[in-house]
Chain A
Amino acid sequence: MNLFTRYFRINLLATVIVFMLASLAFYFLLRYVSIGQVDDDLKIEKREIESYVAKYHRPPEPIVVHDQNISYGISEIHRPFRSFKTIPSPNPDEKENFREISFTLQVEGKWLLFKVAKSLEETESLNRSIIIISLTTIVAILIVSLLINRWLLRRLWKPFYLTLDGLEKYRLGEKISPTFETNSIHEFNLLNQTINRFIRDAEKEFFILKEFTENASHELQTPLAIVQSTLDVLIQDESLSESQSRSLQNAYMAIQKMTKLNQSLLLLNKIENKQFAEIKAFDFKTLVVEKMTNWQELWQGRDLHISASLHSAMISMNEQLADIMLNNLFSNAARHCVEGGDIHLALSSNMFEISNTARSGSLDTEKLFKRFSKMDQSTDQHGLGLSIIKQITEVSNMQVTYAYLNGKHIFSIQF
């Protein structure tokens, strides 16, 4: 529910309730007043009858006119008495109510009960007109106020929506900060200023972090480069003995591993820092097919059987990350597959699945995606591969799940 709908819902409900209550009160007040007036008329009738009786010592002739009935009979109440009530019309064809006064009078020693009824037709029709007029006014007022409010709110909140729009398009680290126009409303200006300040701070922090990552990279990569190149020069020495060569090779492999580890850590940091912000829509199938060709030789070397059922799947993500993710998934599958086992790839429009014949049982799903958690204790792997996959799926709004089924490790990526 957006701001306007919410506002209008509350506003409309409150206005309608208030107007309803007011109309009801108005109606009853009007009715009370107009009936009081009819009652006053009836009292005058009563006085006329009383003066007639006092003068002539007999009740007047009952007269029936269109909107007034006078009748009398023997009363059972032998004392002065007066009451008003509203009665339906004596003529069943008419809908209007009548207002009737009943009172007792002693005529020639006898108690007579007089009833004078007056039609309420006029007052009721007046009431009706008043109610109709007021209801029409209410509806008109509601509609007009809705329209005015709508227009006014749109106008008033326009800067807010512009700000919101700018923020929605904004991505941290993309170097393009949203620009907010200044406007005449203090609160919105304040909001924009505050947001600008936050963005500036965030950008600053972001670049400090990026710089730190890069500096850390530089500090580590350079010594690694020195060791690596020194070893490269050293292995050229033809007078090396076999055991010296072996030692050198061990050192070489260790440096390789350290390099890979450092690169993976930096990669993780970079993904976390959202440094792969550029997103593109592309067919995932093309990439999978390309990767499969690249990996063909490596798979063949290990005598793995590859099968695939691939359908087109348009996805939006960073291409570099997609590439890294697939490489990691493929190398995982190849590494943890039994010699001569199967690797199966499946791609549908919303899911990519890769499964391989497992060497042993299910992996520990708790620790699986944690950093440095090694599933088999082979020292060659640094245990960051799955964390990288996890991190990539997180920044790309995807989900990675692991399942163990029929002796196979299955990794699924849901787009």
Chain B
Amino acid sequence: MYLFEYLAWEAEYTFDCLQKNDTILEQICSWKYRFPSEFKCTFAVSFGKYLFMKVLIIEDEKALSESIATYLNSEQYICEVAENFQTASAKIGQYEYACIILDINLPDGSGLDILKELKTHKKTDGVLIISARNSLDDRLNGLNSGADDYLTKPFHLSELAARVAAIIRRKSFDGNNSLLFEELEFDLLTKTVHIKHHLLELTRKEYDLLLYFVINKNKVINKSAIAEHLWGDNMDMADSYDFIYTHIKNLRKKLIQAGAKDYVHSVYGMGYKFSKR
């Protein structure tokens, strides 16, 4: 029964993926994890040469889970949504996910109990807690119960994507810490970037910025999201994002000088987009 359901599920999503337009598939393809050849996993769905990570969004606010799913679906993820504790509990019992995005406050239970269930089932799914509660106690409670990361609502979707990517990387690909984007080759362990086998000299902030861009490639990222990612949200500087411009200008210059194409595009007054064209 289990196998049958799973195959049905996979077939359904494979079909869904076929419906997605070609450019998206192309984008997904460019994000390439190198799997050991014998690697078999159930938390990802392969479709030809493409691989989709399964992500479960446990969130009772439909509008929010929809936005998250829309944002993540256009990358290498396939999102499922559970709107309440019961559905979520059933899903985690049956399937495995690369990452679970978990809201603590559910209408019929606490997200922390989902963490306990994962533990009793000895599941190793990565968990990112999203909560409206920003108290240190809750953060510690969540992390102590086995969550991998904690993000306070409201958040930027680009930040969420970066956290999810980091969790999946940590959980699933021990020993393989490279990430490719066109001619850029990231070594996530040593935090370095090579272009055509030449080391690209970057400051810590520039590296973080570039990685953030690549993880959110083809997406418009708002200036404030970049500022918060690099400097944290405690630094209250809502009135000036000029310094981001300087950083991006420097990063662009370094990339072009090292022989990479110019991938950073400014989008009106809104922010930036990192893409091939």
- Give the interface of A toward B (CB within 8 A): 214, 217-218, 220-222, 224-230, 232-233, 235-236, 242, 245-246, 248-249, 252-253, 255-257, 259-260, 263, 266, 270, 275, 294-295, 297-298, 300-302, 320, 323-324, 327-328, 331, 334-335, 378, 380-381, 385
Contact A246 B67 (CB under 8 A): no
Shortest beta-carbon distance, B236 to chain A, in Å? Answer: 5
Q: Which residues of B contact A233 (CB under 8 A)?
A: 67, 70-71, 157
A199-B146 Cα distance, complex, nearest whole Å: 34
Q: Nearest chain A CB to B18's CB is how many angstroms away?
A: 22
Stretch at the interface among B25-33, B129-137, B178-186: B129-137
B237–A225 touching, CB < 8 Å = no
The 25 sampled A-B contact pairs (Cβ below 8 Å) are A218-B105, A218-B133, A221-B132, A221-B153, A222-B153, A225-B132, A225-B154, A228-B154, A229-B67, A230-B67, A232-B225, A233-B70, A235-B271, A236-B71, A236-B220, A245-B269, A245-B270, A253-B238, A260-B238, A295-B235, A297-B205, A298-B243, A324-B234, A381-B238, A381-B239
Residues of B within 8 A of A378 (CB): 239
Total B residues in contact with A, Cβ cutoff 8 Å: 46
A246-B268, A327-B236 as given contacts; A226 in contact with B67, CB under 8 Å: yes
Interface of A is mostly: helix
Residues of B within 8 A of A259 (CB): 154
Distance in angstroms from B73 CB to nearest chain A CB is 11
Q: How far is the CA of A250 from the CA of B52 in the complex (A)?
A: 35
Q: How far is the CB of B31 from chain A (nearest CB, A)?
A: 17
Inter-chain CA distance A300–B247, complex, in Å, is: 12
Q: Is B16 an interface residue (CB 8 A)?
A: no
- Among B134, B224, B236, chain A packs the most CB atoms within 10 A around the CB of B236
- The answer to whether the Cβ of B61 comes within 8 Å of any Cβ in the partner chain is yes
Given A257-B238, A298-B237, A380-B239, CB of A226 within 8 Å of CB of B61: yes
Given A235-B222, A297-B243: A331 in contact with B268 (beta carbons within 8 A): no
Nearest A residue to B218, CB-CB: A236
Give CA–CA (A12, B44) in the complex, Å: 88
Contact A249 B270 (CB under 8 A): yes
- Residue B155 is within 8 A (CB to CB) of chain A in the complex: yes
The answer, yes or no, to whether B158 is at the interface (CB within 8 Å) is yes
Shortest Cβ distance from residue A274 to the other chain B in the assembled complex, whole angstroms: 13
What is the CA–CA distance of A247 and B45 in the complex, to the nearest angstrom?
A: 39
Q: How far is the CA of A263 from the CA of B153 in the complex (A)?
A: 10
Within 8 A of A (CB), among B13-54: none
Distance, CA A217 to CA B61, complexed state (A): 15
Complex CA distance for A173 and B32, rounded to whole angstroms:
50
Residues on A with beta carbons closer than 8 Å to the beta carbon of B2: none
Chain B positions within 8 Å of A301 at CB level: 240, 242-243, 246
Closest chain-B Cβ to A117's Cβ sits at a distance in Å of 98
Q: How far is the CB of B180 from chain A (nearest CB, A)?
A: 23
Report the nearest A residue to B71, measured CB to CB.
Answer: A233
Known: A235-B271, A252-B222, A294-B231. A385 touches B236 (CB 8 A): yes
What is the CA–CA distance of A228 and B156 in the complex, to the nearest angstrom? 7
By a CB distance below 8 angstroms, the chain A residues around B268 are: 242, 245-246, 249
* Total residue contacts A-B, CB cutoff 8 A: 129
B270 near A235 with CB under 8 A, answer yes
Taken together as a complex, chains A and B put the C-alpha atoms of A275 and B134 apart, in Å, by 12
Tell me the bound Cα distance from A47 to B220 in angstroms.
136
Cα A217 to Cα B238 in complex, Å, equals 21
Complex-state Cα separation, A380 to B225, whole angstroms: 17
B68 contacts partner chain A, Cβ-Cβ < 8 Å: yes
Are A228 and B155 in contact (CB-based, < 8 A)?
yes
| Contact call A222/B136, Cβ cutoff below 8 A | no
Other 14 A-B pairs with CB < 8 A, given A224-B153, A248-B270, A381-B238:
A214-B133, A218-B105, A218-B132, A222-B132, A224-B154, A225-B64, A232-B157, A232-B158, A245-B269, A246-B268, A259-B154, A297-B243, A297-B247, A385-B236
Assess the A229–B271 pair: CB atoms within 8 A.
no
Q: Are A230 and B63 in contact (CB under 8 A)?
A: yes
Residue-wise interface mask of B (253-277) relative to A, using a CB-CB cutoff of 8 A (1 in contact, 0 not): 0000000000000011111000000
Within 8 Å CB of B269, what residues of A? Answer: 245-246, 249
Residue of A nearest to B219 (CB): A236
Scoring B residues 55 to 74 as 1 if CB is less than 8 Å from chain A, else 0, what string do you get?
00000010110011011001
- Please, which residues of chain B bring their CB within 8 A of the CB of A295? 235
CA distance A376 to B185 in the complex (A): 48
The residue of chain B having its C-beta at the shortest distance from the C-beta of A266 within the complex is B134
Inter-chain contacts of B71 with A (CB < 8 A): 229, 232-233, 236
B202 to chain A, nearest CB (A): 15
Looking at the complex, which one of B70, B220, B224 makes contact with A256 (CB distance below 8 Å)?
Answer: B224
Q: Which 9 A-B pairs have the closest CB atoms?
A: A221-B132, A225-B154, A229-B67, A225-B153, A301-B243, A232-B157, A380-B239, A218-B132, A228-B154
Inter-chain CA distance A217–B135, complex, in Å, is 10
CB-CB under 8 A from B157, the residues of chain A are 229, 232-233
- Residues of B near A246 (CB, < 8 A) are 268-269
Return chain A residues, CB-CB under 8 Å to B243: 297-298, 300-301
Name the A residues within 8 Å of B235 (CB-CB).
294-295, 298, 327, 331
B277 shortest CB reach to chain A, Å: 11
Contact with A along B127-171 (1 / 0, CB 8 A): 000101111100000000000000011111110000000000000
Q: Which residues of A contact B239 (CB under 8 A)?
A: 335, 378, 380-381
